[in-house]
Structure 1
């Protein structure tokens, strides 16, 4: 009985260790792709900001408003997001990587506008603040033993609702409503960061490495965390950013 009991405990611990190792390996790949996406976005943002010829493609130098291509750049990430989210089973891994890279680049185009509206010092400060908040909540989500599923589901519903309101306000140009939306976005993104980390941790514990499905799950995970961080950063910029 003692030997059987010992073996049972040992086997259970081994399984937990294996799942923990798999989860960490999966999350390491997820964060690697997330950092790649951030690098692409930063590169594109700087290129557009420093090159007036490129910037004039999205902002009319006379009126200061968006050009036709500018509107495409603003709404393209939403289209990429829908394709990546709902095309998991139909899209191959190389195509998903290409879509993720293109998505990151279009986000970079949007971020380049921040360089015109806000001071470089405030952009740097808010970015570091957003990164710190994101890191704290990511660690919390990874470490917590509390099931965040119901909490995350409620936050996601709120996110969808406030996203719809923000799209409407994009054409209404209400600064007061935009300010309120930014605060709600920050709160929702903070909560979703913890929820998504717990979700991805559980996904990583059960994946089989070396398959195309797992490779695509890595890209999906990177897409989720990258999008969450970008939404957090952009919302914090609208609240705390110092305008020129």
Structure 2
């Protein structure tokens, strides 16, 4: 049975065939401008990443949800040491097919209790408009406030790193068939770690994946690819949620 463990207050599972523990950006640099990035917080402490897909909705990983816990989000703050306003979550839209044991359909949309203000440092990011495959060897990036080494402390500064898309068949072979067509994989000199769950995989300015899981206890030099939920496989569900709430025009 796969078990979810809270580690150092940071949410991100490292998955193996027997279990996973929660997992930052490895070998990254300080992020310059990612106005869509959101810190998902519990009791004022960062636990997951997320990203604005409209003025009132944040996309993140389903495994960041905890029963009975009220989450808040911080927008427009690359430096979490700076005083920022916390926005409460009004509704938690967890994908109905989410499987916490296998981390299938690991995607959630947070509906905020107010519309975010249009500012230079607060903007939404586009997502795919149709189901699409991402070519192997494409250069993309991932960002977050997570640990910068295995079992390290979360970062107060938003960090980013470039990654490379791995062919899905090769990824499935590496993970012993644990990945599916609803996932996308990356490899490279850097990647994500504890506290980066829910952040976006960005390719050509579009969010194509949601940080989901990686190798257990090995953020630094993983032997298997990092895995994300493939956003384009969930567009019908996403559009139904976003379209069900009247919103002002997006940024």
TM bin (shorter chain): under 0.3
Q: TM-score, normalised by structure 1?
A: 0.24
Higher relative contact order (CA 8 A, sep 6+): 1
Which structure is higher in helix share?
1
